[in-house]
Structure 1
Amino acid sequence: MALIQRPFTRRRLRALAAVAVALAALAGVILWFAGSEDRALDEACDGVLPVGEVRAVLGDGDMEITNRTEGSFDGAGESERGNSLSVRCEVRSEGTGRLTVTIAGAPRPSAEHGKAELYAAVPSRHTLPVPLGHGWSGLFATDSARLGDGEDGGATTAVLLPCAKGGDSLLITVASVLGRDVTLDNPAGRPGFIRTATATAEAANDHWDCGARLGTPVREVDLPVNEDEYEPLIGAKGTCAGVPTAARSAVSTARETARADAPRETCALGARDGSPRYRLDAYYGPYAEDARAQFTHDYDYENVTPAEKPAGRLGRSAYWAGATCPKGAASALYLIRADDADGDARRSPDLGYERAALKAFATRSAAHHGCAAPSLPGG
């Protein structure tokens, strides 16, 4: 039997609101429909979602909003308890797209380590995330390797707020999937993917009394670095600066990003034709904590992992290094791994080159971030 859709009268809207509040008390999730979006947007993500920026991105049409807040952010970073704050909200607008916002307090309680990802992931499989710059510690990323084809309206922006109280931080991550009319290939449109994240970060900074230093409006940002955007390694000026070439390992090209105050950095090393050889990664703050926690889970068969020792060798072709960072932040983590699947770097690793490349990468990155000289693996 077909259902007859009745209009939303004021009485029905009040009834729906009452039901929504009751469900929120039971499940911690609120689902809002047309007619109450403004109120729902005001309350989404514990009240820190910027309504104006969301409307600017998704338009003024009908929206669906889901919202969940758990745990607390109470400045417990120096204790073993950690910060359990976990906020997630999603805004959907038919025809224009959706925004998924997550806010996490760091560091996480130690009981969470090794169970799942501690923080929202930033895509980095096909492209290299680029730093936000403009005074923000953050990243702009996409997992789409094809830009400008009318189907690249998805991007992730992450903003890290190192709080004034040493060791604590807030990580805000916004995943945007927008309509076909929006493309990352348009420089004028890219900042629109970022404004929601930075505005949410500003509100979160006040709401949870973080006291972090904020950046300025992001009016331009580079595209994430694609797989075919390799250049000669000699002369690299960004995240690959100073990393040596290697004749035996046929390493002579690189994909890199600018080196800024980003909580993650990557240098991808390749052969002359750009085919992958090695990948160097630097992790800071929550990302370093998350990486170590995942090694505990994924490499439990190893005798020692980055979670137990500041430097060492992992598997057949991987080394790690670590560095102590200021203000009570998590120690930085640096990795080099073979990136050529079943190629020569995995079958016959050039261990001497791997250590030299990791040393050059980690030393420069640590110095840029104000961290101590890194602890390096031995031979």
Structure 2
Amino acid sequence: MALTTGPRSLVTQRQVRGMTAAALVLAVLTGVIVWFAGSDDRALDEACGGALAADEVRTVLGDSGMDVTSGTEGTFGGDSSDSGSGGSSGSGNSGGSSLAVRCAVTAEGRGRVGVTIAGAPRPRAEHGTGELYTAVPARDTLPVPIGHGWSGLLATDNARRGDRGDGKATAAVLLDCARGGRSLLITVETTLRGATLDDPATRPSFVSTAIATARRADDRWDCGARLGKPVRGVGLPVNADEYEPLLGATGTCATVPTAARSAVSTARETARARAPREICALGARDGAPRYRLDAYYGPYAEDARAQYTRYGGEGVTPADKPAGRLGRSAYWAGADCPDGARRALYLIRADDADGDARARPDLGYERAALAAFAARSAEDHGCAAPVTP
């Protein structure tokens, strides 16, 4: 998903050597702050508005021969962001945080690190113009929580480990700020040549930049969030063939019932942890997909609801009320969360493209599974009891 909040200036460090003072003044006047000069080290240290964890990037990509691009726009604080607190209703108001930061570091032959930092909630004017936040891959594999006290995820879009693209992953860290219902979402896409997610010694490299940048962003924009501990190990995203019996599930599928009519008896799940996205994938005995349960918190809940506002359509949607039914085989629920955060959103949808779950939906089971999933997740996150359909 791309941040779409107005004009951007992404300028390489090589290009900026010829930039004149007049051009710098123009950039500031247009609300875009870009500053590069001198060496790779100087450009790296100033990237992402000075919030990029440069030392971690050097550890991951090496300390020479790097090409740096960076752009910063918008604000996070004062009237612009404080007006977007919006309580916990999830509907928001005309305010919001317009902060949108991007930077990327490429080391030829070694890899690339791309970073986005977005203030949340976004201004309501943006809800109809495009996707609000950088997404984490969550279709073929399930993102795993970073843990260690962080609200974060590690994700990959590689369906099979060992693929040529196995050295690519996305890490996201959400900082819930101390006041005003604001938050910062830091998303880092890392590609490492010759690396693999299968190697537990290498895996922390895919989250280290996100964690360290989150610490710097917390200080840079006076967020005051509760920060986690150092991450020395992280799990693997869950593949499609990693299903287990649903009975006895202890992770994100815990408490979700089985269903004889819908042939639901297996599950793919991740560990229970403080993560802004949670998924429970339900399947038949052989693991064939049946239903998918999703939980969205903070910016991800805001973005999911904004999609219904953006694309419109008939009927009531999650953008309109806390709970209800979507189409032939889907329901949603909502829960108010503490500290003025966006209302959490929970969805159940048929996951077998042309199968029985869509053709002959078991609506009673869908409501029961959603209620169990939402109640467990809301309790883990300290949210109120969900409103269910």
Instruction: Compute the displacement of 1:147 (Å).
Output: 1.0
Contact 1:231 1:255 in 2 (8 A): yes
Q: Please give the alpha-carbon distance, in whole angstroms, between the structure 2 residues aligned to 1:43 and 1:24.
A: 15
Give the letter aligned to residue 334 of structure 1: Y
User: In the alignment, does 2:105 pair up with 1:91?
Assistant: yes
Give the structure-2-normalised TM-score. Answer: 0.89
User: In the alignment, does 2:92 pair up with 1:63?
Assistant: no
User: In the alignment, does 2:19 pair up with 1:19?
Assistant: yes
Aligned to 2:17, the other structure's residue is in SS state: helix
Aligned to 1:118: 132
Greater Rg over alpha carbons, structure: 1
Give the letter aligned to residue 62 of structure 2: G
Aligned to 1:210: 223
User: In the alignment, does 2:85 pair up with 1:78?
Assistant: yes
Instruction: Compute the displacement of 1:151 (Å).
Output: 3.1
Q: After superposition, where does 1:1-379 map in structure 2 within 5 Å?
A: 17-19=17-19, 23=23, 25-26=25-26, 28=32, 36-74=39-77, 75-76=81-82, 77-78=84-85, 80=93, 81-179=95-193, 181-298=194-311, 300-377=312-389
* Aligned length, in residue pairs: 362
Aligned to 2:217, the other structure's residue is in SS state: helix
Q: Please give the alpha-carbon distance, in whole angstroms, between the structure 2 residues aligned to 1:85 and 1:152.
A: 32
Aligned to 2:3: none
Q: Please give the alpha-carbon distance, in whole angstroms, between the structure 2 residues aligned to 1:56 and 1:91.
A: 12
Instruction: Compute the displacement of 1:178 (Å).
Output: 1.3
Aligned Cα RMSD in Å? Answer: 1.9
Q: Please give the alpha-carbon distance, in whole angstroms, between the structure 1 residues aligned to 2:15 and 2:382.
A: 56
Q: Please give the alpha-carbon distance, in whole angstroms, between the structure 2 residues aligned to 1:172 and 1:54.
A: 15
Q: Point out where structure 1 has 5 or more consecutive residues left out of the alignment.
A: 1-12
Could you say which structure has the greater relative contact order, defined with CA pairs below 8 angstroms and 6 or more residues apart?
Answer: 2
> Per the alignment, do residues 350 and 52 of structure 1 end up closer, same or farther by CA in structure 2, a change over 3 Å counting?
same
Contact 2:150 2:274 in 1 (8 A): yes
> Per the alignment, do residues 16 and 133 of structure 1 end up closer, same or farther by CA in structure 2, a change over 3 Å counting?
closer
* % identical aligned pairs: 70
Q: Point out where structure 2 has 5 or more consecutive residues left out of the alignment.
A: 1-12, 87-92
Q: Please give the alpha-carbon distance, in whole angstroms, between the structure 2 residues aligned to 1:260 and 1:16.
A: 43
Give the letter aligned to residue 288 of structure 1: A
Contact 2:33 2:73 in 1 (8 A): no
Instruction: Compute the displacement of 1:277 (Å).
Output: 0.5
Name whichever of 109-118 and 284-293 sits farther off.
109-118
Contact 1:30 1:66 in 2 (8 A): no
Instruction: Compute the displacement of 1:343 (Å).
Output: 0.8
Give the letter aligned to residue 349 of structure 2: R
Contact 1:153 1:183 in 2 (8 A): yes
Q: Please give the alpha-carbon distance, in whole angstroms, between the structure 1 residues aligned to 2:293 and 2:180.
A: 28
Contact 2:40 2:64 in 1 (8 A): no
CA deviation profile, 1:325-361 (whole Å, cap 9, x unmatched): 1100000000000000111111111100000000000
Give the structure-1-normalised TM-score. Answer: 0.92
Moved >6 Å (runs of 4+): none
Contact 1:311 1:320 in 2 (8 A): yes
Name whichever of 73-82 and 62-71 sits farther off.
73-82
Give the letter aligned to residue 19 of structure 1: M
> Per the alignment, do residues 303 and 150 of structure 1 end up closer, same or farther by CA in structure 2, a change over 3 Å counting?
closer
Aligned to 1:190, the other structure's residue is in SS state: coil
